[in-house]
Amino acid sequence: MARITLTLLIALTIAVSSFGQTITYEDFKEVIPFLQREDFKSAYEKTERLLKTTDNDNSDLRGIVTYMNIFSAAGMVTLDQMSYKKFEKVSKKFIGQYLVMSAHICVDSSSMAYNAIQFQTNESGKLEGMSVIVNNKKTSILCFEYFEYADKINPSEMIDKNVRCGGTLKSIEINPNKSKIWVAKLRISNAFARLMTPL
């Protein structure tokens, strides 16, 4: 009986440590240096570990780390460290999950800007947000990001300000040519756009 009780306690401890944890700000900060120097492999491995141990966490920090995971995997594709086939497998498992993107400067829709957010009218006549996220050398587009907003957005209030977007990952389109020009298109539904302070 004592052995059964001990076995159950160990199993419960493992379950709690695996699924009861949340991502902390310190966890999040540990990933930043990898991304700054475009060590995408280390960023991917770190975010994979964090996500596997925080299944029940629905915080913004987990949403950010989930996005970092997809972003770093796309970066690995551009460096031939991950195949398109694997990228598709590891990224599409997040469809339906909450993502929070990096904050970017908001620019006018007529601008051709990388690593920025801009608002445009899509083919259906609805306002959407769009970002083109590139590597440091601007040789590869890691992600095109499209946002379908849940609430009404006033773009004029956001121009020249830092804005963070996020929402539910609706779909991922992989570059059909498998080139390094661009890797993926992310479509985000039920999206938000938040002004960040300080600017």
pLDDT at residue 40 in the model = 98
Query: Given pLDDT bands bounded at 50, 70 and 90, which one contains residue 122?
Result: confident
Q: Is the pLDDT of residue 110 over 50?
A: yes
Q: Is the pLDDT of residue 2 over 60?
A: no
pLDDT at residue 7 in the model = 37
Over residues 96-113, the mean pLDDT reads 92
Query: Given pLDDT bands bounded at 50, 70 and 90, which one contains residue 93?
Result: very high
DSSP string across 54-118: -TT--SHHHHHHHHHHHHHHHHHHHTTSS-HHHHHHHHHTTTTSEEEEEEEEE--TT---SSEEE
**What's the gap between Cα 22 and its chain centre?**
17
Domain count, the chain: 1
pLDDT at residue 92 in the model = 96
CA 20, CA 22: separation in Å to the nearest integer? 7
Q: Is the pLDDT of residue 1 over 90?
A: no
Each residue's pLDDT tens digit, 51-62: 998 878 889 999
pLDDT at residue 112 in the model = 82
Please give the structure tokens belonging to residue 144: 């095109």
Asked whether the bond before 176 is cis by omega within 30 degrees of 0, the reply is: no
pLDDT at residue 11 in the model = 37
Each residue's pLDDT tens digit, 166-199: 999 999 999 999 999 999 999 999 999 999 875 4
Amino acid identity, residue 169?
L
Give this prediction's pTM: 0.86
Domain coverage including residue 158: 2-195
For 147, the 3-state DSSP assignment is strand
pLDDT at residue 20 in the model = 52
Q: Which of the pair, 14 or 44, is modelled with greater confidence?
A: 44
**Interhelix angle 40-52/25-36, nearest 10 degrees:** 160
pLDDT at residue 13 in the model = 37
pLDDT at residue 14 in the model = 39
